[in-house]
Amino acid sequence: MQRTLTGLADQTKYRILVTATVTPMEKVDIPHNAVIVEQLPHSDILPLGVDVVVTHAGHGTTSIALQYGIPLVCLPFGADQPTLAQRVEQLGAGIALNGEQATPEQIHDAVQRCIEDPSFKSQAKKMSSTIANVLAKGFSIE
């Protein structure tokens, strides 16, 4: 999280909202353009004009960001996160970086690319439509 905050600090064009449980908080350098909250339902904030989601690429945040048609910058750390991050990138709906090695500059550049290159938003919107169609049809697991 600190690398993301550092990479996007002092960028007046970015406002950053972080949802995370961080302890101890006093060890986190929070830039003036960022706010950290412990919990906030995705459905409360994502429809309000979020341009990009930076995530560790867990299923929950990744799927809901795509459901709202929002591009992602994925910083996976383990389990199935790297696979999911690569799939997001393959679909053109975001950028996958190495979660343990990405520099603040790389994170900044990926965020900027996702915002400035309309293809990421377009692909995320396509995924949103696909997800909506699947949810509208309903599904079951046997």
CATH number at residue 80: 3.40.50.2000
Judged against a pLDDT cut of 90, whether residue 51 lies above it is answered with yes
Q: Is residue 5 part of a domain?
A: no
Gap between the Cα atoms of 126 and 123, Å rounded = 5
Measured in Å, how far apart are the chain's first and last C-alpha atoms?
39
Total tally of structural domains belonging to the chain: 1
Q: Is residue 12 part of a domain?
A: no
Reported residue count of the chain is 142
- Please tell me the pTM assigned to this model: 0.91
* Residue 87 belongs to domain spanning: 41-136
How far does CA 7 lie from the centroid of its chain?
Answer: 14
Gap between the Cα atoms of 68 and 71, Å rounded = 9
pLDDT at 136: 87
pLDDT at 16: 92
Q: Is residue 23 part of a domain?
A: no
Q: Is residue 126 part of a domain?
A: yes
Q: Is residue 120 part of a domain?
A: yes
